[in-house]
Structure 1
Amino acid sequence: MEILVYIPKQTPRINYIFRHICGRILGFKVKLSSKVEDFIAFEGVKFSYAKKRLGNEVFIQQYGLLEELGIDDLNFSMDIWQDVPCFFRVSSESDIPFDIFSASFYLVTRYEEYQPHVKNEVDSYPIEESLAYQHDFLKKPVVDMWAYKLKAILQEKFPELPFPEKRFKSKFLISVSKAFKHRHNGLVRFAGASLRDFFQLQLKSMFDRFKTMLRLQQDPYDVYDELIDFAKENKMQLDFYFQLSNYSRYTKSISYNKRIYHKLIKSMGDYGHLGLLPGFEALYSIDILKKEKKRWENIVNRSLSKALIKNYHLNFPDAYLNFNKLEIEKDYSMGYQKNIGFRAGTCTSFQFYDLNMEQVSGLLINPYVLNSNALKELNLYEQIDELNNLKSSVKAVNGQMNFIFENSDFAEDSSKSAIFTLMKEML
C-alpha cells in the first residue's frame, strides 16, 4: 500500500528517513510530493510534513534538521510524549508535538557520533555522551515506538484502509575470533604457552592444554557440533562470522591457511549464513580489509555479503565507508559492547547514511541489542528478566532483536547453560 506525504521541498535527508519510518518500519511504499493539488486529490493514506498545515490533514511540523546540510552543534531539550522520551519539540499546531522525522534521523544516522568526542577503549564513541544513555532510553527502540504512534494517528484518520504488519524476529550471531583454544596452534605456540603457564603457576591451564593436545578431552572452544544440535532442536538459525587475519597482538587464532580451519568454516555454512569478522588492522586499512575479504571468498567460494565487528572499535564512520566501498551489503556491528540496548534507537535495519557526503549507501546496518561482552561478570540468569522486558518493547513494534555471542562464551558448562536458556527465552 502507498502513503503520500506532502513536503514543500525534498532533500536527501527527508528521502532517507521517510523510507526508514514509513517503509522499513511501517511497511508502506512512500511517495513524496511537493504539489499541493496532487496531495489534495489523493484518496489514500496521506499526511503533510511542512512548516504550516494545509487544511485538515494529519500534519507533522518540521523542526528544520532535515533541511540543513552538514553537522551542527545542536541545542535542544528532552520531553516525554505518551510515556516515550522525545526531542525537537514543535508547535501545538502539529498533530505530534515533536518532529519525529528529525529526531529519528538524529538517532539513526548517529549524528551525535560525528560531533567531537574523546574516544574510549571499547566502542570508540563513549556511551556516556549519547543522548539515549543520558536520558535513560537506551533500552527502548524509540524510533520504532514513535513510528507506531504515527501509525495509530493515521489509522484513526483512515480506519477503513489496511495497514501492513511485520513479525517479531530474533537472530543469533556467533563470532569466531579464535577457533580453538589449544588445538591446531602449532608446536611453537604450544611450548610457549605451556612455559608461560608453568612460570605463572597456572597449572590447571597447563594440564588442560596437554590433555587437549593428547586428545584426552575436547578443545574448550570446539563447541560447534553442540551449537548446531541446539539450533536444530530449537528450530533456530545461527550465523557464523570467522576471522581471517594475520597472526598479531590482536589475533591469536590458528592460521587462516590451515585446512582444518577451512573445513570448519565450510561445515558451518551448511547450517547457517556465514560472514567475516574483520581483524583490528582491517578496521583501519581498506587494503587489509580487502585481503581478508578475498581470503573469505576463496574459502567459501561466494561473494562476501556480511560483516561483524564484535570486540574492537567500530571506528565509525570509516569502517562503514570501507565496507561500502568493498560492496559488503550487511553489517551487524551497531551496538554498545558493554551495554544492552539500541545504540541507534531502532530495532529495524537501516541503510548507512554518510553525513559528511549527505548520501545514502548500499550498506544495510542491522543493530544488535546484546553483545556477550555486556554479560561478563554478570549473573546471566538475572539478565534474562531484563531482556524479556526489552523483548516486550520490541514485539510491540514487530521489530528484530540481534544477539551476538562467540564460541568461547560456550566453553564453560555453567555459562553455556545460562546462554542457552537466554537464547530460548528470546525466540
Structure 2
Amino acid sequence: MELLVYIPKQTPRINYIFRHMCGRILGFKVKFCTKVEDFIAFEGVKFSYAKKKLGNEVFIQKFGLLDEQGINDLNFSVDHWEEVPCFFRVSSESEIPFDIFSAAFYLITRYEEYQPHVKNDVDSYPIEESLAHQYDFLKQPVVDVWTYKLKKILEAKFPKISFPKREFNSHFLIAVSKAFEHRHNGFVRFVGASFRDIFQLQIKSLFERFKTMLRLQPDPFDIYDELIGFAKENKLKFDFYFQLSNYSRYSKSISYNKRIYHNLIKSMGDYGDLGLLPGFEGLHDYEILEKEIKRWEGIVNRSLVKTLIKNYHLNFPDAYLNFNKLEVEKDFSMGYQKNIGFRAGTCTAFQFYDLNLEQVSGLVIQPYVLNSRILKGIDIYEKIEELKQLKSAIVSVDGQMNFIFENSDFVDRYSKNAIFALMKEMKQ
C-alpha cells in the first residue's frame, strides 16, 4: 500500500527514517512529494511533515534534526505524551506534540554514541549515558510505540483503508566461542590445564577433565544434541554462531582447522541458520576479520550473511563499518550485555546509518533484548517474570524479540532448565 508524505525538501535522513517507520514497521510503500498540488490531488493515505501546516491534512511538525548534517550538540528535554516518553517537542498545531521522526532517528542511528563519552570495558558505550537509561524507557520499544500511535491517527483519518499487518516473533541465537571444554583441545593444552588445576588446587576441575578425556562422561560444552532435541520438541529454531579465531588470550576454542569442528558447524546448519562470531582481534582489525569470514565461508561453502558479537564490546560504529565493507547482510549485536531492553529504542530490524558520511548501508541490524551474561549468578526464573512484561510490550507492536545465549550456559542443570523454561515462555 502506498503512503504519500509532503515535505518541503527531501534529505537522506528523512528518506531513511520514514522508510523504517512507515515502511518496515507499518508496511507502506513510502513516496515523497514537494509540490502542494500533487499532495492535495492524491486520494490515498497521506500526511505532511514540515514546519507549517498546509490546510486540514494530518500534519506532523518537524523539529529540524532531519535537515541537519553531522553530529551537533542538541538541547532538549524528555517528557511524556499519553504515558509514553517523548522528546523534540513541537507546537500544538501538530497531530503529535513532538517530532517522532527526529526522535526515532536520534535513537536508531545511535546519535548519542557518536557524541563524546567515556568508554567502558564491556559495552564501549556506557549505558549510564544513554537517554533511555536516564529517563527509564530502556524496556520500551518507543520507536515502534510512536509509530503505532501514528498508525491510529491515520486509521481515524482514512477508515476505509486496509492497513498491512505484521506478526510478533521470537528468535534464539546460540553463540559458540568455545566448542568443547576439554576434548579436542590437543595434548599440550590438556597437560597445561591439568598442571594449572593442580597448582590452583582445583581438584574437581582436574577430575572432570580426566573423566572427559577418558570418555567416562561427555564434554560439558557438548550440548548440541540436547539443544536440537529441545528445539524440535518445542517447534523452535536456533541460529548458531561459531568463532574461528586464532588461539589467543581471548580465544580458547579448538583449532578452526580441525575436521571435527568443521563437522560440528555443518551439522548445526541442518537445524538452523549459521553465522560468524568474530573474535576480539577481528573486531579491531579489518584484515583479521576478513580472514575469519573467509574461513567461515570455506567451511560452510556459502557467503556469510549473519554476524554476532556476544562477549566483547560492540566497537560502534567501526564494527558495523567493517561488516558493511565485507558485505555482511545482518548483525545481531545491538543491545546492552548486562541490561535487558532496547539499546536503539526499537524491536524492529533497521539498516545501519553512518552519521559521519550521512549514508545508509546495506547492513541490517537486528536488535536483541537479552544477552545471557545478564543471567550469571541470578535467579533466572525471576527474570522470566520481568521478560513476560517486556514480551507484552513487543506483542502490542507486533515486533521481534531476540535472545542471545551460548553453549556454556547449558552446562549447569539448573541454568539449562531455567533457560529452557524461559524459551518456552518467550516463543510466539
TM-score range relative to shorter protein? over 0.9
Paired position in structure 2 for 1:327: 327
Amino acid at match of 2:106: Y
Cα displacement (A) at 1:199? 1.1
What is the percentage of aligned positions where both structures have the same residue? 78
Residue 124 (str. 1) matches residue 128 (str. 2): no
- Give the distance between the partners of 1:118 and 1:258, measured in 2 at CA: 41
Paired position in structure 1 for 2:62: 62
Paired position in structure 2 for 1:186: 186
Paired position in structure 2 for 1:308: 308
**TM-score, length of structure 1 as denominator length:** 1.00
Task: Kindly provide the CA deviation profile for residues 263-300 of structure 1, in whole angstroms up to 9, marking residues without a partner as x.
Answer: 00000000000000000000111100000000000000
Paired position in structure 2 for 1:402: 402
Instruction: Indicate the RMSD between aligned Cα atoms, in angstroms.
Output: 0.4
Structure 1 gaps, min length 5: none
Residue 168 (str. 1) matches residue 168 (str. 2): yes
Amino acid at match of 2:207: F
Amino acid at match of 2:264: L
> What is the number of equivalent residue pairs in this alignment?
427
- Give the distance between the partners of 1:244 and 1:334, measured in 2 at CA: 21
- Give the distance between the partners of 1:42 and 1:231, measured in 2 at CA: 49
- Give the distance between the partners of 1:12 and 1:266, measured in 2 at CA: 41
Q: Secondary structure at the match of 2:85?
A: strand
Q: Secondary structure at the match of 1:106?
A: helix
Paired position in structure 2 for 1:357: 357
Paired position in structure 1 for 2:415: 415
Cα displacement (A) at 1:160? 0.8
Structure 1 moving runs of 4+ over 4 Å: none
Amino acid at match of 1:424: K
- Give the distance between the partners of 1:284 and 1:200, measured in 2 at CA: 33
Paired position in structure 2 for 1:201: 201
Task: Kindly provide the CA deviation profile for residues 204-262 of structure 1, in whole angstroms up to 9, marking residues without a partner as x.
Answer: 01100000000000111000000000000111110000000000000000000000000
- Give the distance between the partners of 1:294 and 1:387, measured in 2 at CA: 37
- Give the distance between the partners of 2:163 and 2:147, measured in 1 at CA: 13
Amino acid at match of 1:363: L
Q: Secondary structure at the match of 1:143?
A: helix
Paired position in structure 1 for 2:25: 25
Cα displacement (A) at 1:79? 1.1
Paired position in structure 2 for 1:372: 372
Amino acid at match of 2:77: S
Paired position in structure 2 for 1:385: 385
- Give the distance between the partners of 1:16 and 1:182, measured in 2 at CA: 48
- Give the distance between the partners of 1:377 and 1:4, measured in 2 at CA: 52
Q: Secondary structure at the match of 2:116?
A: coil
- Give the alignment of 1:63-102 within 5 angstroms: 63-102=63-102
Residue 254 (str. 1) matches residue 254 (str. 2): yes
Paired position in structure 1 for 2:266: 266
- Give the distance between the partners of 1:341 and 1:403, measured in 2 at CA: 11
- Give the distance between the partners of 2:183 and 2:396, measured in 1 at CA: 46
- Give the distance between the partners of 1:272 and 1:392, measured in 2 at CA: 26
- Give the distance between the partners of 1:309 and 1:289, measured in 2 at CA: 12
Q: Secondary structure at the match of 2:31?
A: strand
Residue 140 (str. 1) matches residue 117 (str. 2): no
Q: Secondary structure at the match of 1:89?
A: coil
Cα displacement (A) at 1:19? 0.2
Amino acid at match of 1:386: E
Amino acid at match of 1:74: L
Cα displacement (A) at 1:374? 1.1
**TM-score, length of structure 2 as denominator length:** 0.99
Task: Kindly provide the CA deviation profile for residues 316-337 of structure 1, in whole angstroms up to 9, marking residues without a partner as x.
Answer: 0000000000000000000000
Cα displacement (A) at 1:23? 0.4
Task: Kindly provide the CA deviation profile for residues 306-352 of structure 1, in whole angstroms up to 9, marking residues without a partner as x.
Answer: 10000001000000000000000000000000000000000000000
Paired position in structure 2 for 1:339: 339
- Give the alignment of 1:25-64 within 5 angstroms: 25-64=25-64
- Give the distance between the partners of 2:374 and 2:119, measured in 1 at CA: 19
Amino acid at match of 2:37: E
Task: Kindly provide the CA deviation profile for residues 32-72 of structure 1, in whole angstroms up to 9, marking residues without a partner as x.
Answer: 11111110000010000000000101000000000000001
Paired position in structure 2 for 1:242: 242
Structure 2 gaps, min length 5: none
Cα displacement (A) at 1:377? 1.7
Amino acid at match of 1:351: Q
Cα displacement (A) at 1:129? 0.2
- Give the distance between the partners of 2:36 and 2:79, measured in 1 at CA: 32
- Give the distance between the partners of 1:56 and 1:385, measured in 2 at CA: 46
Task: Kindly provide the CA deviation profile for residues 347-366 of structure 1, in whole angstroms up to 9, marking residues without a partner as x.
Answer: 00000000000000000000
